[in-house]
Amino acid sequence: MIYLYAIAEELDGLPEVPGVDGTPLARRSLEGLDLVVSEHEGREIAASEEAVLAHAHVVEGLVERSAALLPARFGRGFSDEAALREAIAGRAASLREALAQVRGCIEVGVRVLAAEPAPPPAAAESGRAYMETRLARSEETERLARELHEPLAALARAATRTVGATPRLLLSGAYLVEPGELDAFRSRVGELEAAHTELTFVTTGPWPPYSFAPGGET
Amino acid sequence: MTSVPERPLEQQITLLELVDRVLNKGVVLTGDITLSVADVDLVYVGLRVLLASVGTMERLAAE
């Protein structure tokens, strides 16, 4: 099996870290794209926490060695060279588009946590009142999430967001930021934090642009 | 307490964000072999549980 870590442009060498299972890294060049892979006997790799971290380390090591990088999702491999070639050939145009978008940018994550999850509406209320309360709350969550997300997205080349994934997680946003905008981005997070002292803001990154690599839904 | 207890929260969220990205984001190509991540999902669920208890930790850190 050929295990895939990332697709890059202008890759300049491989990081000196082992791949998943301790296997050495290798590269392939297909359709003008640089692929970072490792070769494994059979079709199985033990999916462990160590393997996840090894994958993450390889991707991290590739960031500074490439002009643009799309990390691959963990745990994806190809049965042979032909399968890899075919998979890339069918997606080369969209991969190039995605690489152009992330080029020169880093990903920053922002999670906003509400102070406490809202208590459930009183059970004695009528069905309609209950539904109205729930609706009003989800509209309020959406409004607040938008109020936090939009000023950050305005400083980013691209942005994604998830709202209300759990009762406490108000917003989980990913922002594709140019390094020159990072200070401005951090200050804006600080301003939002100052305006919403009841919320907890956690900024993470810079990350390789995982959230801006095309998924498998297409 | 001093300001030290703030670190575990940041570190946990950072680890959760990392695992979230590696497992759920990133390029997926058609025709690939998907490894079973059952064991890894357990790690991920564990982290989510930790994150859910963040409120308690924050209160402890503030005291």
For position A67, what pLDDT does the model report? 95
Residue B1 counted as domain residue: no
Contact B51 A77 (CB under 8 A): no
How many C-alpha atoms does A148 have within 13 Å on its Cβ side?
34
Q: Which residues of A touch B13 (CB under 8 A)?
A: 111, 202, 204
What residue type is A85 in one-letter code? R
DSSP state of A177: E
Which one is predicted more confidently, B39 or B31?
B31
Higher pLDDT, A67 or B1: A67
CATH number of this structure's domain A106-212, picked from the four choices 3.30.200, 3.30.70, 3.40.50, 1.10.10: 3.30.70
What would the pLDDT profile of A64-105 be if each residue is shown by its tens digit?
Answer: 999 999 999 988 899 999 999 999 998 999 999 999 999 999
On whether the CB atoms of residues A73 and A61 are closer than 8 A, the answer is: no
Q: Indicate the number of domains in chain B.
A: 1
Distance from CA of A95 to the nearest CA of B (A): 9
Contact by Cβ (8 Å): A217, A103: no
B9: nearest CA in chain A?
Answer: A202
Q: Where in chain A is the domain with CATH 3.30.70?
A: 106-212
CA A209-A43-A18 angle, to 5 degrees, is: 50
Asked if the model's pLDDT at residue B38 lies above 90, the reply is no
Give yes or no for a contact between A109 and A188, defined as CB atoms under 8 angstroms apart.
Answer: no
Given a cut of 60, whether residue A37 has pLDDT beyond it is: yes
- Hey, is the C-beta of B13 within 8 angstroms of any chain A C-beta? yes
Find, among A28, A37, A33, the residue nearest to A91 by Cα. A33
Whose structure tokens read 């309360």? Answer: A133
Q: Indicate the average pLDDT of chain B.
A: 63
Q: Is the peptide bond before A18 cis (omega within 30 degrees of 0)?
A: no
Residues 66-95 of chain A with CB under 8 A from chain B are 70-79, 83, 86-88, 90-91, 95
By percentage, how much of chain B surpasses pLDDT 90?
A: 5
- Whether A107 has a pLDDT exceeding 70, the answer reads yes
Residue of B nearest to A216 (CA): B28
Q: What is the span of the domain harbouring residue B58?
A: 6-62
Phi, then psi, of A58 in degrees rounded to 5:
-60, -50
How far is residue A170's CA from residue A172's CA, in Å, rounded to a whole number? 7
Q: Please indicate whether, in this complex, the C-beta atoms of A77 and B31 are within 8 angstroms of each other.
A: no
What is the rounded average pLDDT for all residues in chain A? 89
User: Which of A210, A211, A212 is best to mutate for the B interface (most B CBs within 10 A)?
Assistant: A210
Phi/psi region, residue A5 (left: phi>0; alpha: psi -120 to 50; beta: rest), is alpha
CB-based contact A4 B29, cutoff 8 Å: yes
Ranked by mean pLDDT, which of A116-120, B25-29, B43-47 comes out on top? Answer: B25-29
A135 CB-side CA count, 13 A: 6
Q: Report ipTM for this prediction.
A: 0.82
Per-residue tokens: A44:
């199985």
DSSP three-state, residue A65: coil
Task: Please tell me if residue B60 touches chain A, with a CB cutoff of 8 Å.
Answer: no
Q: Residue A46 has which token pair?
A: 């033990």
Q: Residues 101-160, chain A: which have Cβ within 8 Å of B?
A: 109, 111, 113, 115-116
A126's CB contacts (< 8 A; 6+ apart) are none
DSSP structure class, residue A173: E
Is residue B36 assigned to a domain? yes
Q: How far apart are CA A163 and CA A161, in angstroms?
A: 6
**A82: closest CA of chain B, how far (Å):** 11
Closest C-alpha to A36, from A51, A48, A47, A63: A63
Contact B27 A49 (CB under 8 A): no
- Inter-chain CB proximity B27 and A95 less than 8 Å: yes
User: What is the tens place of the pLDDT at every residue in A122-156?
Assistant: 666 678 888 888 888 888 889 999 999 999 999 99
- Residue B44 in domain: yes
What mean pLDDT is predicted for residues B41-63? 48
First vs last C-alpha separation in chain A: 24
Q: What is the DSSP-derived secondary structure letter of residue A37?
A: E
Q: Is residue B52 part of a domain?
A: yes
Chain B residues whose CB is inside 8 A of the A70 CB are: 26-27
The answer to whether A202 faces chain B, any CB pair under 8 Å, is: yes
